[in-house]
Protein backbone atom coordinates (compact mmCIF):
# COMPACT_ATOMS: atom_id res chain seq x y z
CA UNK A 1 0.00 0.00 0.00
CA UNK A 2 1.40 3.41 -0.97
CA UNK A 3 1.71 6.29 1.49
CA UNK A 4 -1.16 8.05 -0.33
CA UNK A 5 -3.44 5.01 -0.03
CA UNK A 6 -2.57 4.62 3.64
CA UNK A 7 -3.34 8.27 4.39
CA UNK A 8 -6.77 8.04 2.72
CA UNK A 9 -7.76 4.84 4.51
CA UNK A 10 -10.74 5.44 6.82
CA UNK A 11 -11.67 3.08 9.65
CA UNK A 12 -15.17 3.56 11.14
CA UNK A 13 -15.76 1.91 14.51
CA UNK A 14 -19.29 1.37 15.81
CA UNK A 15 -18.66 1.54 19.53
CA UNK A 16 -22.05 0.00 20.28
CA UNK A 17 -24.71 -1.37 17.95
CA UNK A 18 -28.32 -0.31 18.31
CA UNK A 19 -29.86 -2.10 21.30
CA UNK A 20 -27.55 -5.06 20.89
CA UNK A 21 -28.57 -5.80 17.32
CA UNK A 22 -26.05 -6.97 14.78
CA UNK A 23 -24.76 -4.23 12.52
CA UNK A 24 -25.48 -4.96 8.87
CA UNK A 25 -22.70 -3.56 6.71
CA UNK A 26 -23.39 -3.23 2.98
CA UNK A 27 -20.85 -4.99 0.73
CA UNK A 28 -20.35 -1.98 -1.53
CA UNK A 29 -18.57 0.41 0.82
CA UNK A 30 -16.59 3.15 -0.96
CA UNK A 31 -12.96 2.33 -1.67
CA UNK A 32 -10.72 2.93 1.33
CA UNK A 33 -13.47 2.56 3.96
CA UNK A 34 -13.69 -0.16 6.57
CA UNK A 35 -16.38 -0.58 9.22
CA UNK A 36 -15.81 -2.57 12.39
CA UNK A 37 -17.45 -3.19 15.76
CA UNK A 38 -14.18 -4.29 17.41
CA UNK A 39 -13.58 -1.86 20.28
CA UNK A 40 -9.97 -2.99 20.55
CA UNK A 41 -9.39 -0.82 17.48
CA UNK A 42 -10.69 2.34 19.17
CA UNK A 43 -7.30 4.08 19.17
CA UNK A 44 -6.73 3.54 15.46
CA UNK A 45 -10.28 4.37 14.37
CA UNK A 46 -10.68 7.52 12.28
CA UNK A 47 -14.38 7.67 13.08
CA UNK A 48 -16.23 6.38 16.15
CA UNK A 49 -20.01 5.99 16.10
CA UNK A 50 -21.82 6.00 19.43
CA UNK A 51 -25.43 4.88 19.88
CA UNK A 52 -26.33 7.74 22.21
CA UNK A 53 -29.39 6.21 23.98
CA UNK A 54 -27.15 3.44 25.34
CA UNK A 55 -24.40 5.71 26.64
CA UNK A 56 -26.09 6.41 29.95
CA UNK A 57 -23.43 4.54 31.92
CA UNK A 58 -20.47 5.18 29.65
CA UNK A 59 -18.19 8.16 30.15
CA UNK A 60 -17.01 9.53 26.83
CA UNK A 61 -13.24 9.67 26.88
CA UNK A 62 -11.20 12.38 25.23
CA UNK A 63 -10.87 11.62 21.55
CA UNK A 64 -7.52 11.54 19.85
CA UNK A 65 -6.62 14.41 17.51
CA UNK A 66 -8.20 14.00 14.08
CA UNK A 67 -10.73 11.40 15.22
CA UNK A 68 -14.36 12.10 14.37
CA UNK A 69 -17.24 11.17 16.66
CA UNK A 70 -20.73 10.45 15.37
CA UNK A 71 -23.91 10.61 17.48
CA UNK A 72 -26.28 7.87 16.32
CA UNK A 73 -29.93 7.49 17.34
CA UNK A 74 -33.42 6.99 15.94
CA UNK A 75 -35.04 7.78 19.30
CA UNK A 76 -36.87 11.04 19.90
CA UNK A 77 -35.38 13.74 22.10
CA UNK A 78 -38.20 13.06 24.58
CA UNK A 79 -37.00 9.49 25.03
CA UNK A 80 -33.33 10.49 24.98
CA UNK A 81 -32.94 14.03 26.39
CA UNK A 82 -29.20 14.02 25.68
CA UNK A 83 -30.03 14.54 22.02
CA UNK A 84 -31.23 18.06 22.80
CA UNK A 85 -28.42 18.82 25.28
CA UNK A 86 -26.24 21.21 23.27
CA UNK A 87 -23.28 20.89 25.60
CA UNK A 88 -23.35 17.10 25.42
CA UNK A 89 -23.93 17.00 21.67
CA UNK A 90 -21.06 19.44 21.07
CA UNK A 91 -18.70 16.52 21.69
CA UNK A 92 -19.78 14.99 18.38
CA UNK A 93 -18.69 16.03 14.90
CA UNK A 94 -21.58 14.45 12.99
CA UNK A 95 -25.12 13.33 13.74
CA UNK A 96 -26.83 10.26 12.28
CA UNK A 97 -30.45 10.37 13.40
CA UNK A 98 -34.08 10.35 12.25
CA UNK A 99 -34.14 14.15 12.13
CA UNK A 100 -34.12 15.85 8.76
CA UNK A 101 -31.41 18.25 9.90
CA UNK A 102 -29.01 15.38 10.71
CA UNK A 103 -25.75 15.04 8.79
CA UNK A 104 -26.89 11.52 7.90
CA UNK A 105 -30.60 10.74 7.92
CA UNK A 106 -31.28 7.34 9.45
CA UNK A 107 -35.05 7.17 9.70
CA UNK A 108 -37.55 4.35 9.58
CA UNK A 109 -37.37 3.62 5.84
CA UNK A 110 -34.86 0.76 6.45
CA UNK A 111 -37.65 -1.11 8.25
CA UNK A 112 -39.04 -1.86 4.79
CA UNK A 113 -35.75 -3.02 3.24
CA UNK A 114 -35.29 0.01 1.01
CA UNK A 115 -36.92 3.22 -0.10
CA UNK A 116 -38.06 1.51 -3.31
CA UNK A 117 -39.69 -1.30 -1.34
CA UNK A 118 -41.62 1.20 0.75
CA UNK A 119 -42.74 3.17 -2.31
CA UNK A 120 -43.99 -0.01 -4.01
CA UNK A 121 -45.75 -1.29 -0.90
CA UNK A 122 -47.59 1.97 -0.31
CA UNK A 123 -49.47 1.85 -3.61
CA UNK A 124 -50.69 -1.76 -3.27
CA UNK A 125 -54.52 -1.62 -3.35
CA UNK A 126 -56.22 -2.08 0.03
CA UNK A 127 -58.11 -5.23 0.94
CA UNK A 128 -61.79 -5.36 1.82
CA UNK A 129 -62.56 -4.50 5.43
CA UNK A 130 -64.74 -5.91 8.19
CA UNK A 131 -66.61 -2.92 9.63
CA UNK A 132 -67.77 -5.06 12.57
CA UNK A 133 -64.15 -4.94 13.76
CA UNK A 134 -63.33 -1.28 13.16
CA UNK A 135 -60.09 -0.55 15.01
CA UNK A 136 -56.87 -2.51 15.55
CA UNK A 137 -54.26 -1.64 18.17
CA UNK A 138 -50.84 -3.12 18.95
CA UNK A 139 -49.24 -1.35 21.92
CA UNK A 140 -46.94 -3.31 24.20
CA UNK A 141 -44.14 -1.02 25.33
CA UNK A 142 -44.56 0.81 28.62
CA UNK A 143 -42.69 3.81 27.21
CA UNK A 144 -45.33 6.52 27.11
CA UNK A 145 -44.35 10.16 26.91
CA UNK A 146 -47.18 11.00 24.54
CA UNK A 147 -50.10 10.11 26.78
CA UNK A 148 -51.06 7.39 24.33
CA UNK A 149 -52.21 4.87 26.93
CA UNK A 150 -54.65 7.21 28.64
CA UNK A 151 -55.99 8.38 25.27
CA UNK A 152 -56.40 4.81 23.96
CA UNK A 153 -58.09 3.69 27.16
CA UNK A 154 -60.64 6.50 26.88
CA UNK A 155 -61.13 5.93 23.14
CA UNK A 156 -61.89 2.25 23.81
CA UNK A 157 -64.85 3.35 25.96
CA UNK A 158 -66.52 4.83 22.88
CA UNK A 159 -65.62 2.48 20.00
CA UNK A 160 -64.63 -1.21 19.89
CA UNK A 161 -60.86 -1.69 19.67
CA UNK A 162 -59.20 -5.05 19.05
CA UNK A 163 -55.96 -4.89 21.02
CA UNK A 164 -53.27 -7.46 20.24
CA UNK A 165 -50.47 -5.92 22.29
CA UNK A 166 -49.83 -6.30 26.00
CA UNK A 167 -51.71 -3.07 26.67
CA UNK A 168 -55.49 -3.61 26.97
CA UNK A 169 -55.11 -6.98 25.27
CA UNK A 170 -58.42 -8.53 24.28
CA UNK A 171 -57.26 -10.47 21.21
CA UNK A 172 -54.47 -12.99 20.65
CA UNK A 173 -52.53 -14.15 17.60
CA UNK A 174 -52.25 -17.84 16.78
CA UNK A 175 -48.76 -17.20 15.43
CA UNK A 176 -46.54 -14.17 15.16
CA UNK A 177 -43.83 -13.59 12.56
CA UNK A 178 -43.37 -9.93 13.47
CA UNK A 179 -44.02 -7.32 10.74
CA UNK A 180 -45.56 -9.67 8.11
CA UNK A 181 -48.08 -10.84 10.71
CA UNK A 182 -48.85 -7.29 11.79
CA UNK A 183 -49.33 -6.05 8.22
CA UNK A 184 -51.57 -8.97 7.32
CA UNK A 185 -53.60 -8.45 10.47
CA UNK A 186 -54.26 -4.72 10.22
CA UNK A 187 -55.02 -4.97 6.50
CA UNK A 188 -58.48 -6.24 7.51
CA UNK A 189 -59.22 -3.29 9.78
CA UNK A 190 -60.61 0.05 8.59
CA UNK A 191 -58.52 1.89 11.19
CA UNK A 192 -55.29 1.23 13.07
CA UNK A 193 -54.11 3.03 16.19
CA UNK A 194 -50.79 4.68 15.30
CA UNK A 195 -49.72 6.32 18.54
CA UNK A 196 -46.05 7.23 18.94
CA UNK A 197 -44.49 6.67 22.36
CA UNK A 198 -43.43 10.33 22.45
CA UNK A 199 -44.18 13.53 20.57
CA UNK A 200 -41.31 15.28 18.85
CA UNK A 201 -40.61 16.97 15.52
CA UNK A 202 -39.59 14.46 12.81
CA UNK A 203 -40.24 11.48 15.09
CA UNK A 204 -42.43 9.58 12.62
CA UNK A 205 -41.93 5.84 12.91
CA UNK A 206 -43.19 2.62 11.40
CA UNK A 207 -46.33 3.09 13.50
CA UNK A 208 -47.42 5.63 10.88
CA UNK A 209 -46.26 3.74 7.79
CA UNK A 210 -47.37 0.19 8.63
CA UNK A 211 -51.11 0.97 8.35
CA UNK A 212 -50.52 2.96 5.14
CA UNK A 213 -48.69 -0.01 3.64
CA UNK A 214 -51.36 -2.46 4.82
CA UNK A 215 -54.26 -0.35 3.53
CA UNK A 216 -55.67 0.65 6.91
CA UNK A 217 -56.18 4.28 7.93
CA UNK A 218 -53.70 5.34 10.63
CA UNK A 219 -55.26 7.13 13.59
CA UNK A 220 -52.17 9.12 14.44
CA UNK A 221 -50.87 10.67 17.63
CA UNK A 222 -47.33 11.97 17.41
CA UNK A 223 -45.08 14.35 15.52
CA UNK A 224 -46.55 17.82 14.99
CA UNK A 225 -45.12 17.83 11.45
CA UNK A 226 -46.38 14.38 10.45
CA UNK A 227 -47.99 15.85 7.33
CA UNK A 228 -44.48 16.37 5.93
CA UNK A 229 -44.11 12.56 6.00
CA UNK A 230 -47.45 11.71 4.42
CA UNK A 231 -47.20 9.91 1.04
CA UNK A 232 -50.49 11.38 -0.17
CA UNK A 233 -53.38 13.68 0.62
CA UNK A 234 -56.02 12.67 3.16
CA UNK A 235 -54.29 9.40 4.06
CA UNK A 236 -54.46 9.51 7.87
CA UNK A 237 -56.55 10.81 10.74
CA UNK A 238 -54.80 13.12 13.17
CA UNK A 239 -55.88 12.87 16.80
CA UNK A 240 -55.07 16.59 17.14
CA UNK A 241 -57.96 17.42 14.81
CA UNK A 242 -60.55 16.09 17.27
CA UNK A 243 -61.61 17.66 20.55
CA UNK A 244 -61.67 14.46 22.59
CA UNK A 245 -61.45 10.67 22.31
CA UNK A 246 -65.24 10.58 22.22
CA UNK A 247 -65.33 13.08 19.34
CA UNK A 248 -62.76 11.00 17.49
CA UNK A 249 -64.80 7.83 18.03
CA UNK A 250 -67.89 9.60 16.67
CA UNK A 251 -65.91 10.59 13.57
CA UNK A 252 -64.66 7.03 13.00
CA UNK A 253 -68.19 5.64 13.31
CA UNK A 254 -69.46 8.26 10.86
CA UNK A 255 -66.86 7.15 8.32
CA UNK A 256 -67.86 3.51 8.78
CA UNK A 257 -71.47 4.49 8.04
CA UNK A 258 -70.46 6.36 4.87
CA UNK A 259 -68.38 4.12 2.57
CA UNK A 260 -67.72 6.93 0.08
CA UNK A 261 -66.33 9.16 2.83
CA UNK A 262 -64.13 6.31 4.09
CA UNK A 263 -62.92 5.60 0.56
CA UNK A 264 -61.59 9.14 0.35
CA UNK A 265 -58.93 8.00 2.83
CA UNK A 266 -57.84 5.34 0.33
CA UNK A 267 -57.95 7.47 -2.81
CA UNK A 268 -54.29 8.49 -2.38
CA UNK A 269 -53.25 4.91 -3.19
CA UNK A 270 -54.65 5.36 -6.70
CA UNK A 271 -52.67 8.55 -7.33
CA UNK A 272 -48.95 9.37 -7.68
CA UNK A 273 -47.17 9.73 -4.38
CA UNK A 274 -46.48 13.28 -3.20
CA UNK A 275 -43.44 14.77 -4.92
CA UNK A 276 -42.15 15.91 -1.52
CA UNK A 277 -42.47 12.36 -0.23
CA UNK A 278 -40.61 11.01 -3.27
CA UNK A 279 -37.83 13.51 -2.56
CA UNK A 280 -37.78 12.32 1.04
CA UNK A 281 -37.33 8.73 -0.18
CA UNK A 282 -34.74 9.78 -2.77
CA UNK A 283 -32.49 10.97 0.03
CA UNK A 284 -32.57 7.49 1.55
CA UNK A 285 -32.23 5.24 -1.47
CA UNK A 286 -28.66 4.38 -0.57
CA UNK A 287 -27.81 2.54 2.65
CA UNK A 288 -27.34 4.84 5.68
CA UNK A 289 -23.79 3.53 6.13
CA UNK A 290 -22.92 4.51 2.56
CA UNK A 291 -24.24 7.98 3.29
CA UNK A 292 -22.20 8.02 6.50
CA UNK A 293 -19.07 7.30 4.45
CA UNK A 294 -19.94 10.19 2.14
CA UNK A 295 -20.41 12.57 5.09
CA UNK A 296 -17.12 11.47 6.64
CA UNK A 297 -15.38 11.92 3.30
CA UNK A 298 -16.68 15.48 3.08
CA UNK A 299 -15.43 16.32 6.55
CA UNK A 300 -12.06 14.60 6.26
CA UNK A 301 -11.14 15.31 2.67
CA UNK A 302 -13.63 17.89 1.46
CA UNK A 303 -14.95 15.72 -1.35
CA UNK A 304 -17.29 12.88 -2.29
CA UNK A 305 -16.51 9.28 -1.46
Do 290 and 182 share a domain, yes or no?
Answer: no
Asked if residues 106 and 94 have their Cβ atoms less than 8 Å apart, the reply is no
What percent of the chain lies above the pLDDT cut of 70? 95
Do 185 and 52 share a domain, yes or no?
Answer: no
CB atoms within 10 A of CB 175: 5
56: domain CATH number?
Answer: 3.40.50
Do 230 and 241 share a domain, yes or no?
Answer: yes
Closest CA to 292 of 5, 12, 55: 12
Do 148 and 96 share a domain, yes or no?
Answer: no
Do 103 and 153 share a domain, yes or no?
Answer: no
226 lies in which domain range? 113-281
d(CA 128, CA 73): 38
Do 133 and 189 share a domain, yes or no?
Answer: yes
Do 146 and 263 share a domain, yes or no?
Answer: yes
Pairing of strands 191-195, 161-163: unpaired
Q: What is the three-class DSSP state of 293?
A: helix
Pairing of strands 161-163, 135-137: parallel
Do 166 and 271 share a domain, yes or no?
Answer: yes
Q: Is the pLDDT of residue 131 over 90?
A: no
Do 165 and 209 share a domain, yes or no?
Answer: yes
Q: What is the three-class DSSP state of 135?
A: strand
Give pLDDT tens digits for 208-255.
999 999 999 999 999 999 999 999 999 999 999 999 999 999 999 999
Do 163 and 206 share a domain, yes or no?
Answer: yes
Do 145 and 276 share a domain, yes or no?
Answer: yes
Give pLDDT tens digits for 8-62.
789 999 998 888 888 999 999 999 999 999 999 999 999 999 999 998 656 677 7
Query: 5: pLDDT confidence band, cut at 50, 70 and 90?
Result: very low
Do 42 and 160 share a domain, yes or no?
Answer: no
d(CA 112, CA 110): 5
pTM of the predicted protein model: 0.92
Q: How many folded domains does the chain comprise?
A: 2
Give pLDDT tens digits for 163-209.
999 999 999 988 888 888 999 999 999 999 999 999 999 999 999 99
159: domain CATH number?
Answer: 3.40.50.11660
Closest CA to 76 of 54, 99, 49: 99
d(CA 60, CA 89): 11
Amino acid sequence: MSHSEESERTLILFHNAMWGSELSVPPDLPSGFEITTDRIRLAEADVVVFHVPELRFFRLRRKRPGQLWVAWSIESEENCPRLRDRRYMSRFDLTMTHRRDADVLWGYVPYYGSADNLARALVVPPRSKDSARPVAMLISSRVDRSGRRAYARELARHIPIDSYGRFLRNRTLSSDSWRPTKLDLIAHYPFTIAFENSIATDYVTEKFYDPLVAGSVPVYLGAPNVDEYAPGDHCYINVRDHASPRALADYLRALLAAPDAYDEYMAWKRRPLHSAFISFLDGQRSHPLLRLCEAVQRVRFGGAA
